Structure 1
Amino acid sequence: MGSADTRIQRDADAKTITITVPDKKLAITIDYSNGCTIKQLILKGKNTLSASGIYSGIRTKSQAYTSQDNAGTIQVVENAGGVTLSGIKYGDKDIAVRETWNFKINRDKIRWDITREYSNAATLEEMAFPKWNFSDLSVWKGGIMDNGGMVWCKYLKQVNDTYGVHTGGVTFWNAESGDALRITAIPVKDHQIASAYSHSAQNEFTLTHQVTESQLQQRYNLSRFVSGRANVFAPFEIKKGIVKVSFELQYIDYFKAYSRGTLPGIDAAAVRELLNTTGRYGVVDNNIIGANGWLTNWKCLHEPFFAQIGMALNDPNYTKNMSSTLDQERDQAMLNDGRVLSRWHNAAGDEIPGTYNSKTGYYEAMWGYTIDSQTGYIINASEQFDVNGDINWLRSHQVSCEKALDWLIRRDSNKNGIFEMMNNNVSEQKASDWLDIVWASFENAFVNAQMYEALTLWANCEKTLGNKEKADYYSAVALRLKTAFNKPIEEGGFWSPAKKQYVYWRDNDGSVHGNNLVTPVNFAAIAFGLCDDPQRIALILDQVEQRTEAENLFHWPLCFDSFTREEVSGGNWPFPKYENGDIFPTWGYLGIRAYAKYDKAIALKYINNILEQYKKDGLSSQRYSRVTQMGLGDDILAGISTTITALYRDIYGLRPKWNRMGIEPNMSKELDGTAFSYTHLNTVYALKLSVNAYTMSTNGFSIRSKEGFGAVKTGNLLTYYPQNKDTMLLQVNAASKRRINMEISSWNAAAYSWIVNSADRYRFSIKGLQPGAAYLLKINNTVQSVRAKIDGSYSIEKVCKPATKFSIKKA
């Protein structure tokens, strides 16, 4: 027997219903012959499910019941574009469940509504609302979740390895075929949804959804991942009554939906896979984005690159989660005096005694007070503002960011402009930064370099918030730090003329330590703009490249020579071992940023090296051996993706700002023809990049320039920011809503010139000219003398035809 709707095929004898979307890329088969199960979920002709299929159910302390155990008669009613199955019953005398499943085709999606009625209140150990059972762990490479994170199937290695998160939507993908399944989860209002991903006893890959009135708690401490245990969430209460959840199922062309565009000279597929796995892996759960990731249930707050990862991922779900992560850290990880706790973990054991909060998971690391948690919070908050563009969100972090900065500013006992750690010397055997078993003490160059970046970024945020006094104050503190930092070590700074490098730290007795060419220290000095001396930059970067080449290393080690024995924990000995000489690609973005303006070829070499390494091993390591260059460590660090986030920031030059899209590229000839789209503040920007030829376009405008710039169009008003700075701008107000097409010929003191290639009546306003100065304005071949207003602005009204040329220069 068949349905009148050819998309719905019902076999009344076999008691099956097959629902197929019009393009035939997605189909499901429902079996109601013995209970009720979705026994097939077919993508482009291939069934992805195990024999268990998809079913619903509950589990009490003593018994499990599912929709497959249905004892009654299931009623089937066909309707326009869908079908309803009711009378699904399971449970016992203490807790009985009645369900209705409604399916409806909506273009290329199948919507599945599950309405569940509980007979009584009860305590459940788990529910399946529903449970999806895929054939095995090779069906999908992983799943991109709607909190910006991902489940990486290969890491559910053992039976019952389970990862649980407080979100429901996911896009599973197969990296070989490009087939993907998107499950959009829609709980009813005032209900929460959670997901558990697991490796079943039948070697299936399973997803179990749970819908509850309040957020599920963890069963084992604060663990989101548990090994060898099927249950990750604690028991919970349900109430008598009705609960509903909806799911939309959709076939996705993964290669198209997650395309990174056309990237000449770069393996775009490797970029896509690296960012969608390693880059997302650090998302532990909602409100917890880190780098150590969900396998180890760890997040280090003393890492300043999470917002940058989000900038490269360009996923609004990650962006939203990163904002709420910083909100939670502001509210739970900051002490009253402004100290930012350095870590989050699922259980105690890694903390300075008395600092672990079992309710929140935040604490101070046992290795020492890692002060870069202060700078990490500021840098992430500042860069996150540029990504989320939410000035009210930034304002909600103003007091806390000031407190975090001021906490560290107060730590300058000798008043020399360099900020001090909480440990004084190596004899204390305590750490003060990310290298947590290296005894960097007192005046730490790595932390102070990050402090300079934090001060600079936050000063700009204060300016945006209208607090010029605070902006000037933090800029002045940054300048004083820069001056002190760059002094020779004999004068109290960090520069070693003899070693031609910045040293790592100075103890309170004046002794200097870490002159063994520590790469993150020297890269940070250059990348963050502390070191702007071309000669010093060359001395450092040439030395690093020569030594890396000499050892044929695929990436930079943490240091090139050994620390002394008393400077490090015994776990770092003998050299090269662990933080004393191994390769930690986590700090790759600092190297790329340092080399990008010095020698782009070197920057690109290490970008391509990390992509090659990803194709070999998925970067599934904490670090790499200096000797064998093989992966080491149980921890996987999402920070290993930062070499590729730097490709976007420092080569392609993506600089989204809170009020515009910006690009400041450093392109090489082999990258000519790079083209991709980027979504910022709900606007899709098409970017085309070649050497000295950059085009940004949207539905509303197109701008081509030889130099970096920023732009935004609101209504009929297009604003162009030369060099992506706020010092000058050109505003183009069109009479109609037609697209504005412009080319910037030059923008410097000699002449500000542009060409309009679209027809309309425009009002052009330039801001940032010399107040009251005389200028020569040229429109096509007509020249006239004009004068800037007292506020440095000048406006022109003109009806333009394509290729109308404008130029204004000092008279």
Structure 2
Amino acid sequence: MFIKNLCLVFTCFSGLLLPVISQGSPRKDSNIIRISSPKITMTIDCDNKASIISLVINGQEVVSSKDGMYTAVKAAGILCSSMQLKAKPVVKQTPNSTIISGINYGNENITIRESWIFTRVGEAIQWEIKRALPQAIKVEEAGMPVLNFNSIDTWEGAYQGYGGLAWFYLFNEKESTYGVHTKSSSFWNSKSGNGLTVTVDAPGKQVAMKYSRANDNRLAYAVTVSNNAMIPVSDSGTNRRLFVRNRTDVWAPFTMPAGASSQRITFRYFDFNEKYGRGKFAGINGTAVSAVLNTIARIGVIDSLHFGGNSWHTPYGPICLHEQYIAQMGLGINDPDYLNGYQSCLDYYRDHAIKPDGRVYPRWAYTNEDAMPGAFNKEGFYEAQWGILMDSNPDFVTNVAELYDMTGNKSWVKSHQRSCEKALDWILKRDANNNGLVEMMTDSQEQKRSSDWIDIIWASYENAFVNAKLYLALTKWAAIEGQLGNPAKEQQYKAFAAKLKNSFNKPVSNGGFWDNDHQCYVHWLDKAQQPHGRNMVTPVNFMAIAYGICDDAGRTKLILDNIEQQMVKEQLFFWPLAMTSYAAGEGRESQYPFPEYENGDLFLSWGSVAIKAYAAHDPEIALKYVKNVLEQYNKDGLAFQRYGRIKQDGRGDDILSGNSLSIVGLYQAIYGINPLYNRLLLDPHITPALAGTELTYNNQHQRLVINLDSNNYAVSNKVFKIISPKRFGFNATKNNVFYFDGDSSSAALQVTTNNPLTIHIKNWSADNMRWTQTTAAPTLSPLTYNIHGLKPGADHTFSVDGKVVKKVRSDGKGNCIITYIPSAHSAAITISR
């Protein structure tokens, strides 16, 4: 075991976290070399070894030991490293770099020759390793390099290049090891604010990284460069585990070929608060909000091509493709790396998780133990043993659609057009009776098979849970089909969605899901049209409201008020899966007596849909449960799969990334931040306590500032700002700012200018458009207004500060263009008829 052996060999060098060291002149010892950039200092020992013995980041020494950083391989059970060279290396200084050659190590069977070149590049330090092997080596483990940080607590975690997280809080045992496929790792500590990004560039090679808690409680970080992607050591086709306990050899042996190779490692400091800071929070614990979104929300990202809701830390490590909120978590995480990584992941799912007929496998896991016998493929995707979980088909489509809204990458979503159509068409064929509700693979609970995320409740035939998810997917994908120039598919999906909605809302006596006796939507109807799950199944009812299926205000109020009344009565901090018990026989025997697991426990993964359902109805209630979750986070870190109903105690040996979804709901439904493919839609439902919130938010390569006050909302970048008393959309390019009225997907106003500009919307209607504007430029220059939504072919007046400047006439589509040179930095503009 590689890291374990290192600890045995170099026990006397084990370092502790030390105070800040002096940044003075280099040591006189000729074997010691110091290389510095403004925020990084490395000290290298070349006394018959080649090792970085000190690494200082922004004044904090994070590495301070003789075996701090070096290169090594283990072959035939023998460790060879740059800590023990065959001869003293040669150091050469140039104006721009430090070159250390003659780094030769190995034994009678292995020879490794390296030269190291250190160069300061701007504020970063670049370490190039050139390596030559006389013959190929079968390597059991490799560190190219190994970096031993002083303590497992030096950093809180390391963000991966694809948006995942190695969270060292979860390394609760010595020799816990986590391996990933990535070319960069960003170590961070929110308390110190220090961050260090390590990026590896190895042309033509694959890069993997692993993190281990060493026996001396240091954090051992090792980079491996290879010709092919590394595979887990336990991978026998049925075991793909990337997190292991009591061992450090997460990767299987591989061959390093003979010949020359090179890699470049860049060390770059970042300010954690500057890069990942979220702004100013009013009326809520912003520190906890940030912590939940920066950590828990990411832990379902197991590796670069495996994004889900279950943590990589669990021995089982499942991914549920039947979860519609994985892309949505990106809204709260708000890291471009997560969005780019999930794009690659969905490409992988498209190519490996969808059967030729369009059926989407619902799960992937480290092992096949949860799979139906024989119902899995070589990549590890499978049908679950509990039944054919039908929601994976619409959920795949929803995640593609929502990710597209966040990136605006039309060529990427185009590459998913055929696969999403296949996934939708497969499930639409399940509507055998042509009533707009698709049927499951089972007809009755007597078959004891599930069909959705609540996988040990025997939902069958026409399932409201699955059909609600299908409605969401259809409405989202229909709009994308229109953008991609396929009006036939757009209309097909819209028509099916409308039919589904109509049937969904019918009373159970007429083949729908509305149960007037129990004042809720039921979970399912069996083939005999008997209703089941009449116990206020919260995800079903929340989805019906949040996804727009239930647009009856009275019915919405009835559902939400009844749920809240019982929540207050039981004093629950979060919503359970069901408010009362499933009837006997509707679930697995282990789910009784109520409450037990999926029959009544509290699963936080349904937080965002619940928050959205309540935000428009009563934002105070929505905010109450967001705060409850944050309080629970402060108590226990939300470090559980679920919470029991009676004691509200944490249960389960996994931490679900879905535990963050109430906080994602805070962003989406209460703050109203909704990234869409061509704009950021701001649709807040804030309470008075939240007024004064100022958030920073990344949206399609721009860093935006969002201000939320009572009936006064604003979005700005560094150049343009729009303020409005109601919901609106914002977009900006170099010289253009776009205002979208309400939730319209077409810009109502485009202003072209070379100068910074603030627009404050006062009123927007076809007959009267009013705004004030302020330009901060020292000289005034022309503004061009491209206005839409006027009455077609009609005369309008363009007024400035109450004075008519010109008459304009709209074209046949209600558009007009006005160019105006302002006479003052501030003005009130009106266009009226």
Please state which band the TM-score falls in when normalised by the shorter chain: over 0.9
Partner residue, 2:501: 482
Please tell me whether residue 80 in structure 1 is matched to residue 95 in structure 2. yes
- Alpha-carbon deviation of 1:765? 2.1
In structure 2, the residue matched to 1:3 is none
Cα distance, 1:773 vs. partner? 4.2
Question: Does the alignment pair 1:679 with 2:698?
Answer: yes
SS of the residue aligned with 1:247?
strand
Q: Answer yes or no: is 1:188 the counterpart of 2:202.
A: yes
Per-residue CA distance 1:621-661 (angstroms, 9 max, x = gap): 11011112121101221011111111111111112222223
- Deviations 1:591-622 (Å, cap 9, x if unpaired)? 10001111111111111111121122221111
Matched position secondary structure for 1:411: coil
Contact 1:291 1:638 in 2 (8 A): yes
2:298 aligned partner, one-letter code: R
Deviates more, 1:377-386 or 1:306-315: 306-315
AA aligned to 1:802 is: H
From 269, 277, 284, give the equivalent of 1:259. 277
Aligned residue among 47, 52, 59 for 1:38: 52
The verdict on how the C-alpha distance between 1:239 and 1:503 changes in structure 2, with shifts beyond 3 A counting, is same
Instruction: Tell me the alpha carbon deviations over residues 721-746 of structure 1, each in whole angstroms, 9 at most, x when there is no partner.
Output: 11141255212233xx2123211111
For the residues of structure 1 that align with 2:609 and 2:619, how far apart are their CA atoms? Answer: 14
Residue in structure 2 matching 1:328, options 341, 345, 348: 348
User: Is the contact made by 1:260 and 1:271 (CA closer than 8 Å) also made in structure 2?
Assistant: no
What is the 5 A alignment of 1:563-574? 563-574=582-593
AA in 2 matched with 1:177: S
Q: With the length of structure 2 as denominator, give the TM-score of the two structures.
A: 0.93
**Which residue of the partner structure matches residue 331 of structure 2?**
311
Q: Which of residues 42, 48, 51 in structure 1 aligns to 2:62?
A: 48
Q: Conserved in 2, the CA contact under 8 Å of 1:163 and 1:197?
A: yes
TM-score (norm 1): 0.95
Letter in 2 for 1:15: N
Does residue 271 of the first structure (1) align with residue 289 of the second (2)?
yes
After superposition, the Cα gap between the structure-2 partners of 1:796 and 1:10, relative to the gap in structure 1 and judged at 3 Å, is: closer
Indicate the larger mover: 135-144 or 419-428. Answer: 135-144
Corresponding position of 2:167: 152
2:80 is the counterpart of 1:65: yes
Task: Flag the 1:203–1:756 CA change in 2: closer, same or farther, 3 A.
Answer: closer
Task: State the partner residue of 1:386.
Answer: 405
1:548 is paired with a residue whose SS is helix
Q: Give the SS at the match of 2:578.
A: coil
Structure 1 runs not aligned, ≥5 long: 1-5
Any conservation in 1 of the 2:521–2:540 contact (CA below 8 Å)?
Answer: yes
Shift of 1:14: 7.0
1:13 is aligned to 2:33: no
- Give the alignment of 1:167-566 within 5 angstroms: 167-183=182-198, 185-221=199-235, 222-296=240-314, 297-358=317-378, 360-566=379-585
| Cα root mean square deviation, aligned | 1.9
Distance 1:727 1:173 in 2: 41
Whether the 8 Å contact between 2:792 and 2:815 is mirrored in structure 1 is yes
Q: CA deviation at 1:139?
A: 2.1
Distance 2:242 2:765 in 1: 54
1:641 and 2:660 matched: yes
* 1:798 alignment partner, one of 820, 824, 828: 820
Deviation (angstroms), 1:82? 4.1
Partner SS state of residue 354, structure 1: strand
Distance in 1, matches of 2:362 and 2:330, equals 21
Q: How many residues align?
A: 799
Alpha-carbon shift at residue 675 of structure 1 (Å): 1.1
Offset at 1:168? 3.2
What is the aligned partner in structure 1 of residue 781 from structure 2?
760
Shift of residue 292, structure 1, vs aligned partner: 0.5
Q: Which amino acid aligns with 1:755?
A: T
How far did residue 107 of structure 1 move?
4.3
Give the 3-state SS of the residue equivalent to 2:153 in structure 1.
Answer: coil
Shift of 1:10: 4.2
Query: Does the 8 Å CA contact 2:278/2:697 hold for their aligned counterparts?
Result: no
| Higher alpha-carbon deviation: 438-447 or 790-799 | 790-799
Mean Cα deviation higher: 577-586 or 13-22 = 13-22
The AA in structure 1 aligned to 2:599 is N
Aligned partners of 1:806, 1:48: CA distance in 2, in Å?
Answer: 57
* Equivalent position SS for 1:251: strand
Distance across 1 between alignment mates of 2:461 and 2:384? 17
Name the amino acid aligned to 2:178. Y
- Partner of 1:335, secondary structure, is coil
- Please give the alpha-carbon distance, in whole angstroms, between the structure 1 residues aligned to 2:644 and 2:260: 57
1:111 and 2:133 are equivalent in the alignment: no
Give 1:785 deviation, angstroms.
Answer: 6.2
Quote the residue 1:788 is aligned against: 810
User: Does the 8 Å CA contact 1:8/1:18 hold for their aligned counterparts?
Assistant: no
Deviates more, 1:197-206 or 1:349-358: 197-206
CA deviation map 1:90-116 (0-9, x unaligned): 112332111122223344332222222
Query: 1:769: Cα distance to partner?
Result: 3.0
Write out per-residue CA displacement over residues 58-116 of structure 1, whole angstroms, 9 at most, x where no aligned residue.
Answer: 11123111111112011122233542222111112332111122223344332222222
Q: Structure 1 segments of 4 or more deviating over 6 A? A: none
For residues 34-68 of structure 1, the C-alpha deviation after alignment (integer angstroms, 9 at most, x for no partner) is 41221222335443336431111111123111111
Consecutive unaligned residues of structure 2, counting only runs of 5 or more, are 1-21
Structure 2 Cα separation of the partners of residues 343 and 291 of structure 1: 11
Q: Percent identity?
A: 39
Aligned residue identity for 1:174: N
Structure 2 distance, partners of 1:581, 1:554, is 14
Q: How far did residue 553 of structure 1 move? A: 1.2
CA–CA distance in 1 between the matches of 2:211 and 2:619?
A: 42
Task: Check whether the contact 1:8–1:82 (CA below 8 A) recurs between aligned residues.
Answer: no
Counterpart amino acid of residue 319 in structure 2: K
1:306 shift after superposition: 1.2
Shift of 1:227: 2.2
Q: Indicate if the aligned counterparts of 2:177 and 2:211 stay in contact, CA closer than 8 A.
A: yes
Per-residue CA shift, 1:109-131, capped at 9, x if unaligned?
Answer: 32222222212112111111011
Q: In structure 1, what is the equivalent of residue 7 of structure 2?
A: none
- The 2-side partners of 1:766 and 1:633 are apart by 56
Q: 1:502 to 1:628 in 2, by over 3 A?
A: same
Q: Do the aligned residues in 1 keep the contact of 2:48 with 2:89 (CA within 8 Å)?
A: no
CA distance in 2, matches of 1:779, 1:202: 72
Q: Which amino acid aligns with 2:135?
A: N
CA distance in 1, matches of 2:94, 2:260: 23
Aligned equivalents of 1:648, 1:743: Cα separation in 2: 23
Q: 2:92 corresponds to which letter in structure 1?
A: V
Deviates more, 1:638-647 or 1:709-718: 709-718
Structure 2 partner of 1:142: 157
Query: How far apart, in 1, do the equivalents of 2:690 and 2:296 lie?
Result: 24
The Cα offsets for residues 283-311 of structure 1, whole Å up to 9 and x where unpaired, read as: 11111111102123221100011111112
Q: Give yes or no for the alignment of 1:28 onto 2:49.
A: no
CA contact under 8 A between 1:7 and 1:20: conserved in structure 2?
A: no
2:676 and 2:817 mapped to 1: Cα distance? Answer: 25
- Deviation of 1:684 after TM superposition, in Å, equals 1.9
Contact kept in structure 1, 2:152 and 2:219, CA below 8 Å: yes
**Partner Cα separation in structure 1 for residue 596 and residue 384 of structure 2:** 21
Report how far residue 776 of structure 1 moved.
Answer: 5.1
Question: 2:40 touches 2:58 (CA, 8 Å); kept in 1?
Answer: yes
| 1:253–1:787 distance in 2 versus 1, CA, 3 Å | closer
SS in 2 for 1:352: strand
CA–CA separation in structure 1 for the residues paired with 2:53 and 2:453: 50
Q: Is the CA contact (8 Å cut-off) linking 2:145 and 2:223 kept in structure 1? A: yes
Q: Which amino acid aligns with 2:116?
A: W
Deviates more, 1:151-160 or 1:546-555: 151-160
